[in-house]
Amino acid sequence: MKHKLLYFLIIILLLFVYLLAEAEAWLIQELSDTQSKIARSAHFDHTTGRVKNIETTTELFSVEKGDKEKRSSARIMYELFLNPNKPNHIPVVSGSLKTAPDRDFVLWYGHSSYLLHLGDKNILIDPLIGKDAASPIPFINTPFAGTDAMTIADDVPQTIDLLLITHDHYDHLSKQTLTQIVKNKMVHRAITPIGVGKYLKHFGFPENIITQVDWGEKVKIDDVFSIDTHTARHFSGRGIFNKNKTLWVSYVLHYGDKKFYIGGDSGYGKHFAEIGQQYDKIDWAFLENGQYDQGWREIHSFPEQTFQAALDLKAVHLFPVHNSKYKIAYHDWDAPKKDLWAVWQKNPTAVHLVTPKIGEIVLLDETYQSVAWWENIQ
């Protein structure tokens, strides 16, 4: 009886916090161009004001229909929040920027946060760095032990030439991280999906550096860099009632003749092959690989689907993200890596799998030797 009361009180607390998050989303003032962009977009339902996936997509499959393992609310609370199966300690390479060579590289912060250093530009994607929780509640969805060693002060460069946000979920759009970045770093430009720009302004970013984009746009950065925006198969929202009020995107970043696919979150779908057909090849594909479950199988990709998406995209290198820092699904923390590794080993010449530790500098002009560093972590 006491346990049931405890679970009930925790659920009430979570609902209260999410209602506060919902209130914040409603109270934040939209950017001046948001409504005009929504009005012109073919991807918003103009009756409801919500985004529509290009493919028919179910966000959460019904327990009653037997589409996923039946779990009570109390069991869900226990497995994900109260007693999650987390690793004891994950090794992280901190301070890599201090010794990074003046060459093109990628630095992964864990989960879906990473830095691309290309030429003389620093491009930061979905930053969630250090001890920040992947939720509005500081003690829910906290980082795995060890993965919070990286800091904004030491592991984010002083100048961010381009900030890219893929969508407005808490594990991709962190108020704590972004507030610290805008206070302590120089950010020249930020690109977000339609409707997400207001959060950056609320966090302290000047409105004049924020560009909001729809699917199918091209944004010129300078003579060397440009971005194509594409769809993904996902959803959005930071509260209970504002679901799908903002867009979610994937990006193709052009850097000279090199192309980088920044996938954000996405279930597997036909869009990967369609994007692949548009380009001769994708040099580096950063694809979601983690936080999947049969209950939400159309909005997150399973490892075998991540591998297939890389093939659809005609990717030369596959860099799997959305793993190794947070537990936001029922699978073990290392299942995404182990399962993708097993799939890749069946066809290792199809794509070059890149599997660095968090914080490790990966030079983009050298051959990276993939290693299964997670195998002996308890």
pLDDT tens-digit series, residues 86-128: 899 999 998 999 999 999 999 999 999 999 999 999 999 999 9
Give dist(CA 111, CA 143) in Å, integer: 10
Which residues on adjacent β-strands are paired with residue 282? 315
**pLDDT for 71:** 58
Q: What was the pLDDT predicted at 74?
A: 58
Q: Which residues contact 250 (CB under 8 A, 6 or more apart)?
A: 166, 229, 230, 231, 232, 261, 262, 263, 264, 266, 275
Residues of the chain with confidence (pLDDT) below 50? 64
359: left (phi over 0), alpha (psi -120 to 50) or beta: left
Q: Domain map of the chain by residue range?
A: 96-363
| CATH architecture under which domain 96-363 falls | 4-Layer Sandwich (3.60)
Residue 358 DSSP symbol: B
> Left, alpha or beta for 362 (phi > 0: left; psi -120 to 50: alpha)?
beta
Contact 167, 288 (CB under 8 A): no
Order of strands, sheet of 250-255, starting from the edge strand that comes earlier in the sequence: 218-220, 225-230, 250-255, 258-262, 282-288, 315-321, 352-353
Report d(CA 337, CA 288) in Å as an integer.
Answer: 11
How many whole angstroms separate alpha carbon 285 and alpha carbon 117?
A: 15
Mean pLDDT of the chain: 92
pLDDT at 13: 72
What does the alpha-carbon distance between residue 307 and residue 304 come to, in Å, rounded to a whole number?
Answer: 5
CB atoms closer than 10 angstroms to residue 119: 13
| Element at 31 (helix H, strand E) | none
Question: What is the model's pTM?
Answer: 0.94
Q: What is the pLDDT of residue 139?
A: 80
